[in-house]
Amino acid sequence: MDDDTGVQELLHRYFTGHGFKVSIVANGAGMRSVLARESVDLVLLDLGLPGEDGLELTRVLRTDWDGALIIITGRGESVDRVVGLELGADDYVTKPFELRELLARVRSVLRRSLPANATTGNSGEAAFHFADYSLDPLGRALRNARGEAIPLTTGEYELLHVLVEHPNRVLSRDDLMEHIHGRDAGPFDRAIDVQIARLRRKIEPDAANPELIKSVRGVGYIFTARVQRER
């Protein structure tokens, strides 16, 4: 979603040429209209829409819709970028962007958000059990001891999946970014920290005093729970 007609035409032509079905809208009303009548796998949302609160639209998407979301921000909008990630965006791209990078990010997020039985990587993977939770890679679902599903965004699921695969091992931000996004964390990149904070709020009894995902000062994070894997 972008209000610049030149950018709209460029994105439509480029992504259509790579086999995607694309709908371009210029505002929140157009976005809601498309989502109401079509099945949409991913939204590219420009936070800088005139007359629109991009962060509010992010909040609306994460409340009413469960597809993949990439936010687009200006280079000076680092605060908005962080807030967008806190609200549940799966990734972000800064303007001006390279079309090939944007395409790679879109493909990466879509690949991670597809049901596991639609891919070859996770189709036979056993479930993980830790604390009072089970993580099912086949259904990409996290459940508590009562069997209730705990909603996770694509980024939160991928982060938790990496952590349960590497219990009691210190993972740096670069390690986690490489596993999840296929790139290193930049010096001012808080994406991993934001997703860790969101994940803690969902699985820790007390997110302010985490027991499952602990910080290792100056290094990264360690998943301390005992993990059992189904055979």
Q: State pLDDT tens for residues 83-112.
A: 888 888 888 888 888 999 899 889 888 877
pLDDT of residue 124: 52
Report which of residues 52 and 195 the model is more confident about: 195
- Considering just the CA atoms, what is the radius of gyration of the chain in Å? 18
* Whole-angstrom distance, CA of residue 156 vs CA of residue 112: 11
pLDDT of residue 187: 44
pLDDT of residue 167: 94
Average pLDDT of the segment spanning 202-216: 95
- Cβ-proximal residues to 35 (8 Å cutoff; 6+ apart), any chain: 65
pLDDT of residue 120: 39
Q: Are 68 and 113 in contact (CB under 8 A)?
A: yes
* Whole-angstrom distance, CA of residue 216 vs CA of residue 211: 12
* Whole-angstrom distance, CA of residue 218 vs CA of residue 10: 42
Where does the pLDDT of residue 119 fall: very low under 50, low under 70, confident under 90, or very high at 90 and above?
very low
pLDDT of residue 109: 85
Report which of residues 30 and 80 the model is more confident about: 30
* Location of structure tokens 């629109």: 52
pLDDT of residue 117: 39
Q: pLDDT tens, 127-171?
A: 999 999 999 988 888 999 999 999 888 788 889 999 999 999 999
pLDDT of residue 177: 82
Where does the pLDDT of residue 77 fall: very low under 50, low under 70, confident under 90, or very high at 90 and above?
low
Distances (CA, A) of 130 to 33, 194, 203, 219, 229: 41, 22, 11, 24, 9
> For 117-229, which CATH class?
mainly alpha
Q: How far apart are the first and last CA of the chain?
A: 44
Q: What is the pTM of this model?
A: 0.62
Q: Are 39 and 14 in contact (CB under 8 A)?
A: no
CATH architecture of 5-113: 3-Layer(aba) Sandwich (3.40)
Q: pLDDT tens, 5-45?
A: 788 889 999 999 999 999 998 888 888 899 989 989 999 99
Q: Where are the domains of the chain?
A: 5-113, 117-229
Q: Are 225 and 212 in contact (CB under 8 A)?
A: yes
Q: Are 184 and 178 in contact (CB under 8 A)?
A: yes
Average pLDDT of the segment spanning 163-187: 79
β-sheet bridge partners, residue 45? 71
